[in-house]
Every structure is written in structure tokens, then in C-alpha cells.
């Protein structure tokens, strides 16, 4: 499912309104677009002055796109423990990015990974981690560096994706801001 430019803009506006609604002690108004009723995994990332300010999402399609965008925007703004909660005065300065995820595909070989196209999820007996497709591109990583950072994100040692019981998944994302 590919969203058109108007739909992308509507979801970005929904994310911003959901954050504003917290400050105004009200519920955000969810759009009626039928496409937004579909369930998809997605992440909302917030950037301030080019730096990450929050990023939270659902890997799997638990809720409708509209519900997920509203909830994950609020979570990225106020519940990402790596950052202080967003302040009202920062709201007009943040850039909002939404990554709409494809279904997960379990990889049989790391040769299936295409840097720039694929995001990765590692499920390991001692931790799990996810990196969106755009992360490897932003940092100009090759596949091995991408896998090293994925292991670090999961809290496991480098190369742990090869361990017994570890599962590696790929996904793609429609990314817009």
C-alpha cells in the first residue's frame, strides 16, 4: 500500500495534532480516510535541529494506521526514555517522520539484505533490536556495520545474529516527513 502526497500530509498533521492534544488536554481528531483504517506496523520519529528527539513505533500491525500514528507520535514525544519529554515550545520546531512498515520476512541468509531498502529486526534469546531502513543510509553503513549496530541495539555482542535461537527479519518502509 502506497500513500499519496495528500494522505502523507494528513498523517503528519495527525501526528502533530496528537502531540498538541496532550498539551491542550483533549483527544486528537482521527481522519476518516479508509486507507488509514488498515493495520500496519509503523514508527514515528521526531527530529529537532537535525537531531533525533524521539522514535517509537509498533513493529507489527496491532492497530489502524490512524490510531498508531496518533499513539506513537505521543509516545515519541513523551515516552522515549532516551530523551526528556517534549516541551510545548519545541512543538513548532520539530520535524515529524513516519515510517510505514511492510510485513516482516524472516531471512535465511544475510545475503538477502539490501542496505537502503531493508530495515532489520533481530530477535535473540538475550534481547531484541530494530533499525529502520533509513538509518543505514543516513550513516552510510555497509551490511556488516548495519548488523553490528543492530546487535548493539539488541544489547547483544557483535555477530550474535548468527547464534542459535536468534532470528533475523527484514522489512521495508514507506518513509515520509
Chain segment 8-33, per-residue pLDDT in tens? 999 999 999 999 999 999 999 999 89
Written as one string, the DSSP assignment of the chain is ----HHHHHHHHHHHHHHHHHHHTTSPPPPP--GGGGSB--EEEEEEETTEEEEEEEESS--SBHHHHHHHHHHHHHHT-TTSPPPPGGGTTT-EEEEEEEPPPEE-S-GGG--TTT-EEEEEETTEEEEE-HHHHHHTT--HHHHHHHHHHHHTS-TTGGGSTT-EEEEE-EEEE-
Averaged pLDDT for residues 165-169 = 97
Question: Of all residues in the chain, what percent carry a pLDDT higher than 70?
Answer: 100
pLDDT band at 98; cut points 50, 70, 90: very high
Question: Of all residues in the chain, what percent carry a pLDDT higher than 90?
Answer: 97
Mean residue pLDDT across the chain: 95
- Global pTM reads 0.89
Q: Which domains does the chain have, with CATH numbers?
A: 5-101 (3.30.700.20), 105-176 (3.30.1490.150)
Chain segment 123-157, per-residue pLDDT in tens? 999 999 999 999 999 999 999 999 999 999 999 99
pLDDT band at 1; cut points 50, 70, 90: confident
Amino acid at each position: 500500500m502506497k500513500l499519496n502526497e495528500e494522505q502523507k500530509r494528513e498523517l503528519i498533521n495527525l501526528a502533530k495534532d496528537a502531540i498538541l492534544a496532550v498539551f491542550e488536554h483533549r483527544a486528537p481528531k482521527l481522519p476518516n480516510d479508509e486507507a488509514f483504517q488498515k493495520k500496519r506496523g509503523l514508527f514515528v520519529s521526531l527530529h529537532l535541529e537535525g537531531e533525533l528527539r524521539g522514535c517509537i513505533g509498533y513493529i507489527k500491525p496491532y492497530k489502524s494506521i490512524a490510531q498508531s500514528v496518533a499513539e506513537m507520535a505521543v509516545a515519541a514525544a513523551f515516552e522515549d526514555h532516551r530523551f526528556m519529554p517534549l516541551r510545548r515550545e519545541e512543538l513548532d520546531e520539530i520535524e515529524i517522520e513516519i515510517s510505514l512498515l511492510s510485513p516482516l520476512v524472516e531471512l535465511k541468509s544475510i545475503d538477502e539484505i539490501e542496505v537502503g531498502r531493508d530495515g532489520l529486526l533481530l530477535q535473540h534469546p538475550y534481547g531484541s533490536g530494530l533499525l529502520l531502513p533509513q538509518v543505514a543510509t543516513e550513516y552510510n553503513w555497509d551490511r556488516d556495520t548495519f548488523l553490528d549496530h543492530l546487535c548493539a541495539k539488541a544489547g547483544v555482542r557483535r555477530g550474535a545474529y548468527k547464534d542459535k535461537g536468534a532470528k533475523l527479519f527484514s522489512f521495508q518502509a514507506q518513509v515520509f516527513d
